Amino acid sequence: MQEKDKAQEVLSELSSGAVSIARLAEKYHQADIAAAINRIDDNELIIKILSELGNDIGSEVLTHLNEETREIILEKFSTEKLGDFIEEMSSDDAADILAEVEVERAEDILDNVSEEVEQDVQRLMEYPEDTAGGLMQTELVSSPGHFTVAEAIDNLKGMTEEIGDFHNIFVIDKDRKLTGVLPLQKLIISPNEARIDSLLEGQKPIAVTVDTDQEEVANIFMKYDLVSIPVVDGAGKLLGRIMFDDIADVLEEEADEDIMMMVGADDEALASTHSAIDTARYRFPWLGSSLLGGFITGALILNFKATLSEALALVAFIPVVMGISGNVGAQSSALVIRSLATGRLDAASLKGYIYKELKVGFLLGSGCGLLAGVGAYIWIGSGVLGFVVGVSIMISLVFAAIMGAVIPLVFKWLKVDPAIAGGPITLAMNDITGILIFFAMAAILLAGIGL
């Protein structure tokens, strides 16, 4: 059943009284309940449902609500009730929720939780949200390396309920420094008398520091097919873990951000709570770059009016050059941006990638130039103009492909998000260079031919 159907089913059963609010969780997943609540316009009903679900289920549902609905809960509920929810959450979810309210209100909410939870959440809130420290949770399973398998399993039994799901045991030394990661399966099938550190494979454990950027953390997860990763401080001391569900949120967030930048819009424009005026305000500066690029392109065309007067038919191919150059540049930019985001393109492979893009640009330019030249000859009836158009378009596309690949790399080198390079700025630059090369080559060829 589709998500929308599940949400509608929840709403239908609530309205008909077929199932009580308190028993919703027995029949539906927390995410489906949250999806249904997101569609309710009555704030009082939203509050009633969250209140009657209970602290355990209510806290889970709260993390699945969209920002608009969650804002209602965080504003209307008492700090005592919100404290009950926070007490039930994993530390990373609790820190994310509290980051959405004013500092004073967050402190009042934390006054209603246990000292242990308060300390864990406050520590997490100190880290930037786009780093490993901002993503991690402090709940984890660790074991000293000198423990036997039997001792480690006994230790696990006492903490499983508060930890939740786990797949790995993080092995530590006496100073709580990470020495290895032991899969749960290997622990279970090993002899009871075996020492934990003897089960490690000897490889340096895959871990991230608290200041690692979230995009790099996501790349590490994908590269090594991880379900969780330990987070350590600068000295290697174990601080927490990041689960794959948190990385899934990061991947979605980064994809949204990249797409918005590539179309010239701030990611804030995604928010349904923003008005049309706010959304237009976010997007206008980017479109201004396109407008400026258009004026520059127009100035270049005027500058080559002598060339146009000699071969007026070239005017007909201006839209062709601008359109196809922009498309080739956009394709190259998108491929480079994606490769940078996934970690497939690094300093070692950079030279080879640019050389490959040069060859691709030459092949695309040759094919499109040949078609354009033949088309120009058939349309206009001039072999000379057909040759000029074909060669000019070929060279324009080669430069467009190279620019599309290089510009994101320049942004990366300048420590600016390369996704910006896929937006109107690059399209405008491709238009400018495409027209410049087209007319410059046309002028040179026409002068050489003597037309």
For domain 267-449, the CATH superfamily is SLC41 divalent cation transporters, integral membrane domain (1.10.357.20)
In the chain, how many H helices and how many E strands? 22, 6
Q: How far is the C-alpha of 439 from the C-alpha of 186, rounded, in Å?
A: 68
* pLDDT one-digit tens code per residue, 31-67: 999 999 999 999 999 999 999 998 999 999 999 999 8
**Does the domain made of 142-253 have the CATH classification 3.90.45.10?**
no
Q: How remote is the C-alpha of 8 from its chain's centroid?
A: 29
DSSP readout, 310-372? H-GGGGGGHHHHHHHHHHHHHHHHHHHHHHHHHT---HHHHHHHHHHHHHHHHHHHHHHHHHH
What per-residue confidence (pLDDT) applies to 228?
Answer: 93
What per-residue confidence (pLDDT) applies to 261?
Answer: 61
Asked if residues 40 and 46 have their Cβ atoms less than 8 Å apart, the reply is yes
φ, ψ (nearest 5 deg) of residue 209 = -90, 165
Name the average pLDDT for the chain: 84
What per-residue confidence (pLDDT) applies to 308?
Answer: 65
Q: How far is the C-alpha of 419 from the C-alpha of 412, rounded, in Å?
A: 9
* pLDDT one-digit tens code per residue, 205-235: 999 999 999 988 988 998 899 999 999 999 9
Beta sheet of 168-172, edge-to-edge order: 142-144, 168-172, 178-183
Query: Which of the four pLDDT bands, split at 50, 70 and 90, describes residue 269?
Result: very low
What per-residue confidence (pLDDT) applies to 443?
Answer: 80
Mean pLDDT of 72-78: 94
Mean pLDDT of 352-368: 89
The secondary structure element, H or E, covering residue 228 is strand 228-232
Query: Which of the four pLDDT bands, split at 50, 70 and 90, describes residue 86?
Result: very high
Residue 258, pLDDT > 70, answer: no
**Does the domain made of 3-130 have the CATH classification 3.30.1330.10?**
no
Paired tokens of 156: 């696990």
3-class DSSP assignment, residue 275: coil
Paired tokens of 144: 């000293």
Say which residue, 24 or 341, is predicted with more confidence.
Answer: 24
Asked if residues 435 and 318 have their Cβ atoms less than 8 Å apart, the reply is yes
Asked if residues 150 and 190 have their Cβ atoms less than 8 Å apart, the reply is no
User: Following CA atoms 356, 361, 363, 367 in sequence, which dihedral angle do they give, to the nearest 10 degrees?
Assistant: 160
Residues with Cβ within 8 Å of 316's Cβ and at least 6 positions away in sequence, in order, are 379, 380
Instruction: Please state the domain extents for the chain.
Output: 3-130, 142-253, 267-449
What is this structure's pTM? Answer: 0.66
* pLDDT one-digit tens code per residue, 123-173: 999 999 889 999 999 999 999 999 999 999 988 887 756 677 888 999 999
